[in-house]
Amino acid sequence: MADLVNDFSWSRTRDHVFKDCRRRYFYQYYGAWGGWEADADPLVRRLYVLKQLGTRQMWAGRLVHEAVERALLAMRDGYALSEAALIEDTVRQMRGEWRGSRDGIYHEFPKRTGLFEHEYAVRIRDAEWQALRDHVVRCLRNFYRLPLLAEIKQVPADRWSFIENIGSFAFEGTRVFAAPDFGFWNAADRLQLVDWKTGGNGGEGAAIQLGGYALYALEVMGVDLPRVDLLEVNLGAGKVTVHPWNEVSLDRVREHIRLSVRAMRAYLKDPDKNLAEEANFEKSEDLRICRWCNFRAVCRPELPPFSKPEDMEGAAPLPPGTGQRS
Ligand code: SF4
């Protein structure tokens, strides 16, 4: 098999990490490169293991996304997964992954679920884990009750798009990853691009994300904005928000990506070869970011451990991608 090449690309998560902390960005996109090999340099391997960690909220978001995708794939293939079966499977998966994470399986198999809370011994009360499970169940229940799902089911599956695809496209010479979770052409022949959300509103980040989908529609599918609706579906609340888009907002997104790419590339030792040097990526001075950073064990081992359950309350700035895949 040909060697993998660490090509430069852009995504909203990458943009987020870069803004949060340059050093973290270095670890995530350069330092951890190659760490999937079990016999990689120990530091590279450690960075790679840490890179894969997610907070419990991110984990819950991934479980919901996977479950929704399973349900849609089953519908596409002509059989229905009942709500009860999907919830039961997902809760079972959740229990299994939680145990595996608690037992540290991810150290040997980094692609398996590893929770930040286990790696860093953050004490979470049982009631909080149960609340997380309840949240996942609530999201799936709401999914089945969405009028939007009824609409999707009315549409022939060959009018659905994107399931299983990793969407990327070239934007001014850079590979940009920005694809919606799901899309379909509705009865009015409008393209509906759907973003399943399980956490809070992402604010400006969400706007950039949705704008990325609009660009995807334009660049990959050749569909003009007047025929596209961007739907943010908050599964926790069972609420659908339609985000209007026009050329002006799309231009804003283009400019955001353009500037972000330029800033990232300016940090590289050799932009053409995508080569980075750790010393050029400064550490954040905001220790609140460090506290919740996956790489704190390597980067700031002097930080005090999480000692009391109270440490969690109201203190956690949720990391990039919280409540959604990233
Ligand atoms: S511990 Fe702090 S300085 Fe180090 S990578 Fe993480 S956020 Fe950046």
pLDDT tens digits, one per residue of 61-102:
999 999 999 999 999 998 889 999 999 999 999 999 999 999
pLDDT of residue 320: 36
Q: How far apart are alpha carbons 307 and 292 in whole angstroms?
A: 14
The C-alpha atoms of residue 88 and residue 93 are separated, in whole angstroms, by: 9
What mean pLDDT do residues 195-216 have? 79
Higher pLDDT pick, 1 / 107: 107
Kindly tell me if the per-residue pLDDT of 224 is higher than 80: yes
For atom 5 of ligand 1, the residue with the nearest CA is 24
* Annotated domain spans of the chain: 9-145+282-311, 149-245
Instruction: Say whether pLDDT at 207 is over 50.
Output: yes
For residue 54, what are the β-bridge partners?
Answer: 115
Categorize the per-residue pLDDT at 321 as very low, low, confident or very high, splitting at 50, 70 and 90: very low
Pairing of strands 182-185, 239-243: unpaired
φ and ψ at residue 129, rounded to 5 degrees: -60, -40
Q: Which of 283, 286, 288, 292 to mutate to test the pocket of ligand 1 (most atoms within 8 A of CB)?
A: 283
C-beta atoms surrounding 250 within 10 Å: 16
Can you tell me the distance from the alpha carbon of 326 to that of 320, in angstroms, rounded to the nearest whole number? 8
Q: What whole-number distance in Å separates Cα of residue 322 and Cα of residue 143? A: 19
Q: How many CB atoms lie within 10 A of CB 225?
A: 18
Most confident residue range from 4-13, 196-205, 312-321: 4-13
Token duo for residue 148: 């939007």
pTM of the model: 0.90
159 lines ligand 1 (CB under 6 A): no
Asked if 190 and 227 touch (Cβ cutoff 8 Å), the reply is yes
Is ligand 1 within 6 A of the CB of residue 22?
no
Statement: residue 52 has pLDDT above 70? yes
Mean pLDDT of 114-132: 96
Residue 206: pLDDT band with limits 50, 70, 90: confident
Query: Taking the alpha carbons of 198, 204, 209, 210 in that order, is the dihedral positive or negative?
Result: positive
Is the shortest distance between the CB of 291 and ligand 1 below 6 Å? no
CA-CA distance, 205 to 223, in Å (whole number)?
A: 23
The number of the ligand 1 atom at minimal distance from the alpha carbon of 290 is: 2
Q: What percent of the chain has pLDDT over 70?
A: 90
